[in-house]
């Protein structure tokens, strides 16, 4: 991946102001009457790299989906600094299992731009530059579904970043990827953060959390058990569950 | 077996002597069915996609009804269209009865549920896969429909070919609304019915073999054009 490639800065939205901070107040997600997450009180500021951690079933994915609007809010409120409709346009989401459209690599990356009315030629040209950044310059016309796992996840990331979102949600994007693909993705994420993008990522990987996090949200049993600066969380966790999780003990 | 061999010989002779009547019948058959498939696809494909995406109270009933309509008896469709288009019918003023247009209308009614139903089943799987992604990207309803129609285009082609197969071999409805008039509404299937009735079995068999060859050729041509089985998993 060329290190000299320009960092994608979030698209300017000076007219309406930034979409952050994001405030969750008593937010709950339920499915068939069963509470999956919540009530959650949380505030995400304008800057930073938040890592959402917790054992399996803690509600990491559901919390991310709830904030992004993919999960229905059962109770409480989620408030962006701009109207919800506009906030939705200025954020992106990367799924744990990459969803590949039945299109070529370049058309897959260009798709979000096409949805926003960018002409085909321009969208493809911008997508081709992104494909170069993620090491897929030679595979522009290859069908996206036949890429390797790592390539698919990098494509997902490029597809999320191409519109310059102000906040990016990632649900364990490096799960089941090898070290090289993970490093490439982390490099892209750090570049995006340096460019001013707000990042919220769920991960199981303690090493990755230590490398990337500026702050941590620790979920346990669908609730925020602990949240705060990463250094304080890793060095002096306040709850026994968080301490056990950091130590690598089995936390159920 | 003699009859079959005679049929083959008749088919051979008709094709290679460039029999003008035969070519007229073949072209009319293609014109009627192709037009019907295009119109039915324009209705059925978006309808199938819409039924996948839109949630409404009568959705399951509508899907069940669509599936049931696949079994519409062509003769009954022909009769209904005949009554609509006859002089005393509500659309009699259009003067469409016993014209290729009437035959296209009947075929559209027969083919549309088939195309919509196959399209719906195909796109349901694609929608399950794309749902979160398209919602995350804020795709509008029209953009979602366009995405699953475009990305499912090869599978949808199969739906259209099924519609073509049903249309090109259909005889009951078009016989009633077309009237099997020589040089006006005679197509391969109605010509076969007529020749069989007259006892010209070899000639009818010859026409039948041409019909099969025509159907296979169109299917193969479409598969070749759409690069089926050549573009990896697409």
**Per-residue pLDDT tens digits for A64-110:** 999 999 999 999 999 999 988 889 999 999 999 999 999 999 999 99
N-to-C CA span, chain A: 39
CA–CA separation, A1 and A135 (whole Å) = 5
Contacts of A146 in chain B (CB under 8 A): 232-233
Query: Given this model, what pLDDT does residue A13 score?
Result: 52
* Structural domain of A125: 101-146
Question: Residues A88, A107: one domain?
Answer: no
CATH number at residue A87: 3.40.50.300
Q: Do both A141 and A235 map to the same domain? A: no
Percent of chain A with pLDDT strictly greater than 70: 93
Per the domain annotation, does A156 fall within a domain? no
* φ and ψ at residue B181, rounded to 5 degrees: -85, 125
Q: Are A99 and B133 a contacting pair at CB < 8 A?
A: yes
Q: What angle do CA A223, A205, A98 make, to 5 degrees?
A: 90
Which of A70, A88, A112 lies closest to B132 in CB terms? A70
Q: Which residues from chain A sit within 8 angstroms of residue B151, using beta carbons?
A: 101-103
A146·B133 Cβ contact <8 A:
no
Give pLDDT, residue A4. 43
Residue B132 to residues A19, A208, B45, B58, Cα–Cα distance (Å) = 22, 26, 22, 24
Task: Tell me the Ramachandran region of residue A50: left when phi exceeds 0, alpha when psi lies from -120 to 50, beta otherwise.
Answer: beta
Q: Average of pLDDT values for A171-184?
A: 85
Task: Give the CA angle between residues B17, B20, B26 to the nearest 5°.
Answer: 105
Residue A9 has pLDDT above 70, yes or no: no
**Nearest 5°: phi and psi at A42?**
-155, 145
What is the complex's ipTM, to 2 decimals?
0.88
Residue A13 is assigned to a structural domain of this protein? no
Q: Does the structure show a pLDDT above 90 at A32?
A: no
Q: What is the pLDDT of residue B233?
A: 47
A117's CB contacts (< 8 A; 6+ apart) are none
B chain contacts of residue A70, beta-carbon cutoff 8 Å: 132, 135-136
Domain B2-9+22-225: top CATH class: mainly alpha
Q: Identify any residues that bridge with A168 across adjacent strands, giving them in sequence order.
A: A92, A199
Residue-level pLDDT, tens digit, chain B, 234 residues = 566 787 778 777 877 787 788 889 999 999 999 999 999 999 999 999 889 888 888 889 999 999 999 999 999 999 999 999 999 989 999 999 999 999 999 999 999 999 999 999 988 989 999 999 999 999 998 999 899 889 988 888 889 999 999 999 999 999 999 999 999 999 999 999 998 999 888 888 888 888 999 899 988 888 787 765 555 545
Q: In terms of domains, do A94 and A170 share one?
A: yes
Q: Is A115 close to B137, i.e. CB distance below 8 A? A: yes
Find out whether B179 and B81 touch, Cβ atoms under 8 Å: no
Say what the pLDDT of residue A14 is.
Answer: 47
Task: Tell me: do A180 and A96 sit in the same domain.
Answer: yes
Asked if A169 and A225 sit in the same domain, the reply is: yes
The tokens for B164 are: 């073509």
A88 and A27 together in one domain:
yes
Position A85 in a domain: yes
Domain boundary among A117, A146, A175: A146
How buried is B203 (Cβ within 10 angstroms: 0-12 exposed, 13-18 middle, 19+ buried)?
buried
Q: Report yes or no on A158 lying in a domain.
A: no
From A68, A92, A99, residue closest to B129, measured CB to CB: A99
pLDDT of A1 strictly over 70: no
**In the predicted model, is pLDDT for residue A5 greater than 50?**
no
pLDDT value at position B5? Answer: 80
Of the residues A64, A84, A86, A101, the best mutation for testing chain B's interface (the one with the most B CB atoms within 10 Å of its CB) is A101
Instruction: Tell which wins on pLDDT, B202 or A137.
Output: A137
Pull the structure tokens for residue B169.
Answer: 């071999």
User: Would you call B131 exposed, middle or buried from its count of C-beta atoms within 10 A (0-12, 13-18, 19+)?
Assistant: middle
When divided into structural domains, chain A yields a total of 2
Residues of A with CB under 8 A from a CB of B: 68-70, 88-89, 92-93, 95, 99, 101-103, 111-112, 115, 143, 145-146
pLDDT digits (tens, 9 = 90+) for A43-68: 998 889 999 999 888 899 999 999 99
Residue finishing a domain among A146, A176, A206 = A146
> Which range (A2-11, A88-97, A178-187) has the least confidence?
A2-11
Rounded to two decimals, what is the model's pTM? Answer: 0.77
Q: How far apart are the first and last CA of chain B?
A: 43
Give the torsion through C-alpha atoms of A111, A114, A120, A124, to 10 deg: -40
Using CA atoms, how far apart are residues B221 and B214, in angstroms rounded to an integer?
10
Residue A54 lies in a domain: yes
Contact state of B130 with A101 under an 8 Å Cβ cutoff: yes
Q: Annotate A166-217 with DSSP letters as a single string.
A: SEEEEESTTTT--HHHHHHHHHHHHHHHHTT-EEEEE---HHHHHHH-SEEE
Q: Domain map of chain B by residue range? A: 2-9+22-225
C-alpha–C-alpha distance, residues A212 and A206, integer Å: 10
Q: B182 — contact with chain A (CB < 8 Å)?
A: no
Residues A233 and A172 reside in one and the same domain: yes
Which pLDDT belongs to residue A65?
A: 95
Tens digits of per-residue pLDDT, A210-226?
999 999 999 998 999 89
């Amino acid at each position: 991946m060329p290190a000299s490639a320009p960092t994608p800065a979030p698209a300017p939205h000076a007219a309406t102001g930034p979409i952050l901070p994001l405030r969750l107040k008593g937010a709950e997600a339920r499915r068939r009457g069963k509470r999956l997450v919540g009530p959650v009180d949380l505030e995400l500021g304008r800057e930073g790299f938040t890592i959402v951690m917790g054992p399996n079933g803690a509600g990491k994915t559901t919390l991310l989906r709830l904030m992004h609007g993919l999960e229905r809010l059962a109770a409480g409120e989620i408030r962006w600094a701009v109207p919800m409709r506009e906030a939705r346009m200025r954020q992106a989401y990367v799924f744990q299992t990459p969803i590949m459209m039945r299109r070529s690599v370049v058309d897959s990356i260009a798709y979000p731009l096409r949805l926003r009315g960018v002409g085909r030629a321009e969208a493809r040209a911008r997508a081709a530059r992104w494909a170069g950044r993620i090491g897929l310059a030679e595979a522009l016309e290859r069908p996206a579904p036949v890429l390797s796992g790592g390539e698919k996840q990098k494509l997902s990331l490029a597809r999320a970043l191409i519109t310059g979102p102000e906040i990016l949600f990632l649900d364990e994007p490096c799960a089941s990827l090898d070290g090289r693909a993970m490093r490439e993705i982390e490099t892209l994420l750090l570049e995006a953060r340096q460019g001013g993008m707000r990042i919220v990522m769920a991960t199981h990987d303690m090493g990755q959390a230590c490398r990337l996090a500026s702050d941590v949200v620790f979920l346990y049993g669908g609730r925020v058990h602990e949240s705060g600066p990463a250094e304080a969380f890793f060095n002096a966790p306040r709850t026994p569950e968080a301490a056990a999780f950091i130590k690598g003990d089995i936390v159920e | 077996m003699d009859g079959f061999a005679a049929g083959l010989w008749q088919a051979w002779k008709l094709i290679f002597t460039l029999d003008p009547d035969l070519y007229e019948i073949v072209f009319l058959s293609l014109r009627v069915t192709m037009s019907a498939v295009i119109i039915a696809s324009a209705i059925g494909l978006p309808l199938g996609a819409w039924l996948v995406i839109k949630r409404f109270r009568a959705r399951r009933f509508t899907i069940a009804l669509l599936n049931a309509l696949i079994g519409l008896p062509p003769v009954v469709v022909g009769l209904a269209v005949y009554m609509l288009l006859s002089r005393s019918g509500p659309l009699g003023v259009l003067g469409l009865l016993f014209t290729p247009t009437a035959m296209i209308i009947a075929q559209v009614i027969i083919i549309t549920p088939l195309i919509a139903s196959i399209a719906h089943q195909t796109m349901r799987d694609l929608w399950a896969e794309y749902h979160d992604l398209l919602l995350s990207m804020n795709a509008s309803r029209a953009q979602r429909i366009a995405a699953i129609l475009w990305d499912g285009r090869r599978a949808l082609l199969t739906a259209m070919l099924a519609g073509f197969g049903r249309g090109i071999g259909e005889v009951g409805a078009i016989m009633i609304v077309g009237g099997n008039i020589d040089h006006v509404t005679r197509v391969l299937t109605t010509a076969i019915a007529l020749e069989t009735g007259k006892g010209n079995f070899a000639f009818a068999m010859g026409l039948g073999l041409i019909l099969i060859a025509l159907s296979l050729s169109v299917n193969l041509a479409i598969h070749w054009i759409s690069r089926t089985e050549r573009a990896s998993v697409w």
